[in-house]
């Protein structure tokens, strides 16, 4: 009988997200809203034997929840990339997962959107309890990027 696989250092690198993070978000005007301030909360937990990071996200404006999302991050040893599967309250099914790499303390994911754009989501660990995030979109295949959301979250 073969031994069960164990999470690698690539899987364990995602474990540093584990916990609940709160922060003030700055959103740019978009087809989904006028932009402005919001409060974001992400809860991450390590699951499925330590191989995956499960994320639940809530965005609030004026005391009410206006957006929800659910993500699963993991390491793909075949492609040597991090993969992030994401669904949210907009209801669309992504074409494929976002694909990511670590650059120092920064995890950067990119993906093609259903609207024909390219999206980029950046997570930067300022320290163990502070996480800067930004979401950008590109209409020219990633040559130029427009900021959609920027936030700094604190672990609670």
**Tens of pLDDT along the chain (156 residues)?**
888 899 999 999 999 999 999 999 999 998 878 899 999 999 999 999 999 999 999 999 999 999 999 999 999 999 999 999 999 998 988 889 999 999 999 999 999 987 788 999 999 999 999 999 999 999 998 999 999 999 999 999
Q: What average pLDDT is seen over the chain?
A: 95
50 torsion bin: left (phi>0), alpha (psi -120 to 50), beta (else): left
Strand residues in the chain grouped as ranges (E): 19-27, 36-47, 52-61, 64-76, 81-88, 98-103, 106-112, 118-127, 130-138, 146-155
Q: In 3D, which of 110, 153, 121, 111 has the Cα closest to residue 17?
A: 153
Residue 64 has a pLDDT of 96
Residue 21 sits at the vertex; the CA angle it makes with 59 and 86, to the nearest 5 degrees, is 55
Residue 4 has a pLDDT of 86
Block residue for tokens 């031994």: 3
Task: Quote the pTM value.
Answer: 0.94
Helix (H, G, I), strand (E, B) or coil at 50: helix
Residue 38: which residues within 8 A CB-CB, separation 6 or more?
24, 25, 27, 59, 60, 61, 66
CB distance 6 to 141 below 8 Å:
no
Q: In 3D, which of 110, 147, 135, 106 has the Cα closest to residue 123?
A: 106
User: What are the residue boundaries of the structural domains of the chain, listed by start?
Assistant: 42-155
Helix (H, G, I), strand (E, B) or coil at 14: helix
């Amino acid at each position: 009988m073969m031994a069960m696989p164990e999470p690698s250092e690539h899987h364990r690198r995602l474990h540093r997200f584990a916990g609940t993070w709160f922060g003030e978000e700055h959103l740019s005007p978009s087809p989904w809203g006028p932009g402005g301030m919001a409060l974001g909360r992400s809860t991450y937990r390590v699951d499925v034997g330590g191989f995956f990071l499960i994320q639940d996200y809530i965005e609030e404006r004026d005391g009410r929840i206006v957006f929800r999302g659910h993500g699963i991050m993991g390491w793909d040893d075949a492609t040597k990339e991090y993969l992030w599967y994401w669904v949210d309250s907009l209801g669309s099914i992504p074409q494929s997962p976002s694909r990511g790499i670590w650059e120092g303390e920064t995890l950067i994911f990119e993906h093609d959107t259903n609207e024909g754009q390219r999206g980029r989501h950046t997570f930067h660990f300022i320290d163990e309890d502070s996480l800067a995030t930004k979401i950008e979109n590109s209409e020219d295949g990633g040559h130029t990027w427009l900021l959609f959301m920027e936030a700094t979250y604190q672990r609670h």
